[in-house]
Amino acid sequence: MVTVEPGTSEDIVRSRRIKGVKMANSVLGRFDAVVVVEADSLEELHKIIYEMVERHPNVTHTETMISIFHPSSPSAP
């Protein structure tokens, strides 16, 4: 979850090009963008978040949520 300076959420959405970013969309509401990142370790997650978000000049706030359950896709009958 990302909050940015007004009018700059498209810059974060462009972060989809960064390895590990699976989805990035502008949204309406409390946050300006939602970014979904997939990583094999917490160290890799930290690197992706730092590269994409913390160094970005228009980011004013972030909130990270870590998913602990990811269901596998249903098998075909």
- Output the pTM of the full model: 0.73
CA 64 from chain center: how many Å?
8
The string of pLDDT tens digits covering residues 3-39 is 999 988 888 787 767 788 888 899 999 999 998 888 8
Domains of the chain and any CATH numbers:
2-62 (3.30.70.920)
CA 63 to CA 39: how far, in whole Å?
A: 17
pLDDT of residue 31: 95
Q: How many CB atoms lie within 10 A of CB 39?
A: 15
The string of pLDDT tens digits covering residues 47-77 is 888 877 777 888 888 888 888 876 666 665 5
CA 5 to each of CA 12, 40, 58, 70: distance values in angstroms, whole numbers, following the listed order = 11, 31, 5, 32
